[in-house]
Structure formats: C-alpha cells, structure tokens
Structure 1
C-alpha cells in the first residue's frame, strides 16, 4: 500500500545516503575477510543454517529466493568441504535436512569476528570518540526504521 503524501527532501536525501553508505560498507566488509573463498550464495546458505538451524534444500531455496538447482550445487560444495552435513528429517524420513557442522560454525564465527575487527579498527582510526557515539546513536535510529 503506497502513501500518497509527498516525501520531504530530507527523507529522500537520508534514504539515498543510507542506501549508498550501507552498500559500500557491505562491500568493504565482504572484502575484509572472505569466508574460506566461498561464493556469496554458499556463504549466505551457511549463515542461514547457522542462524535458523537445519533446513531442507527446498526451504533454503525459498528463503534465499534462488532456484533449487543453485542450492543443490552450493550445498554440494559446502558438504564436500565438511561445512554442512545431511541427516534424515525426524518428521519425514524421506526428506534430508542440511545441518551446519562444527567446522562450518567455526568458519562463520571467524568470518564475523574478522569483519567486526576490521570495522572496529576503521572506526577507531578514522573517527573520534564523539563521532563513534554519533554512529551508535544513528544505528539506534536506523534500527527504529527496520522495526515492523
């Protein structure tokens, strides 16, 4: 449902700035530490399994908005590298669940830690204490935007 009221110039500018900076920040975070040379799809699938627990390949495809064939190819690589395992679905033994393995969880944890360390160093080197406080306050505001 679209609101017919006009957007204020400040809202349009803020939206543009947030979109541009968040996009740039995502790219820099990705560049700061590659998750064991996994593709973005493989990393996303592994992260989803870590966050949400065991899933079927079709559940992953729907959640990620990608073709089941892409999930199958990506999870085959993850399984080959020992980052995920398969087990029978306790509710339906004909289905297989993909489960993140301990090495997969370690990879996700180390990747997150490396990215957060890069960001903390960048914030420390480029911003003052007061500016970092402003960043924290801005994040609280953006968090309000994302609340539903």
Structure 2
C-alpha cells in the first residue's frame, strides 16, 4: 500500500451483508402498529424531510406515482399525513406528516432501541467499543447515501 494512501482494506461484501442482515432484523421486529413496509418507509421519510411533493416521494420510495398517490390518500384518511398547498406554488401539493404519524415513527424507533440494546449487551466490551467508535463514520456514511438519493 502506498504510504500516502489512507484507504483501509475492508471486505465490502462482508460489510454489505452485515448491514443487510441487521436491516432485515430491524425491519421485521414485532410491533403494535401493523403497517406495511412501504407505509412505514413513507412515514419515516416524511419524519425526516416533511413536507415533500408527491413526485419527490415517488422517487425516494421507488414506487409508481399511482401507488404513492393511493398510499398518501390512505395515510391522509388515517390521519397520519396531510396534504397542503405549496405556499410558493399553488399548483403543487405538499405532503406533511401529522403528529399521529410522527408518534408511530417514534414508537417504532423506541422499540428498535430496546431490541438493539438487548443485542448490544450480549457483545463483548471490545465489540461494544468498536461499534461505539464506528457510529460517527456510520452517520457520515448515511449522510452521503441520503445526499445521493
């Protein structure tokens, strides 16, 4: 390795597989709220980026315009989101998460935190330290990924 090269040799396959498996575990955690993955994904996206145009949600969630329109209509009927005109362009509708929608996301996050805490306790102190030290880099990796979506 070149001494000016600061890259670290990492097995990206193992890295991706670890994240895929953890994501699978987290997504499938039992919950009081029985909502579809797509519904939860839309609510989660809106909890971070509300308000959004329907076209933005279509691109972010990678589903059709028709599907996102139907989903937002259902979520609006259930009181989890609301549509409001864009103050800058009256032809555009913005989707906002409601307090009730935000409560669902907060509740699921609390459930995940409790589950992950139980898993974390089973790690060795060295493993716990390694994960704690990686959190800033993982947060930065998330930022980079979100900027590319």
The answer, yes or no, to whether TM exceeds 0.5 is: yes
- For 1:96-144, what per-residue CA distance to the aligned partner results, in whole angstroms no more than 9, with x for missing partners? 21110000011111111111110011111x2122321122224445556
1:1-148 paired onto structure 2 within 5 Å? 11=10, 14-34=11-31, 36-124=33-121, 126-142=122-138
Q: 2:138 & 2:12 partners in 1: Cα distance?
A: 11
Q: 2:107 & 2:67 partners in 1: Cα distance?
A: 25
SS in 2 for 1:37: coil
Alpha-carbon shift at residue 87 of structure 1 (Å): 1.1
Q: 1:58 & 1:39 partners in 2: Cα distance?
A: 20
Q: 1:59 & 1:147 partners in 2: Cα distance?
A: 18
Q: What RMSD in Å do the two structures reach over aligned CA positions?
A: 2.1
Q: Between Structure 1 and Structure 2, how many residues are aligned?
A: 136
- For 1:48-100, what per-residue CA distance to the aligned partner results, in whole angstroms no more than 9, with x for missing partners? 11111211211211233321111112112211211001111111222221110
Q: Which runs of 5+ in 2 are unaligned?
A: 1-8, 145-149
Contact kept in structure 2, 1:35 and 1:107, CA below 8 Å: no
Q: Which runs of 5+ in 1 are unaligned?
A: 1-9
Q: TM-score, normalised by structure 1?
A: 0.80
Contact kept in structure 2, 1:33 and 1:115, CA below 8 Å: no
When structure 1 is superposed on structure 2, of 36-45 and 83-92 the one drifting more is 36-45
Q: TM-score, normalised by structure 2?
A: 0.79
Instruction: Give the number of the structure with larger relative contact order, counting CA–CA contacts within 8 Å between residues 6 or more apart.
Output: 1
* CA separation of 1:104 and 1:35: change in aligned 2, threshold 3 A: farther
SS in 2 for 1:127: coil
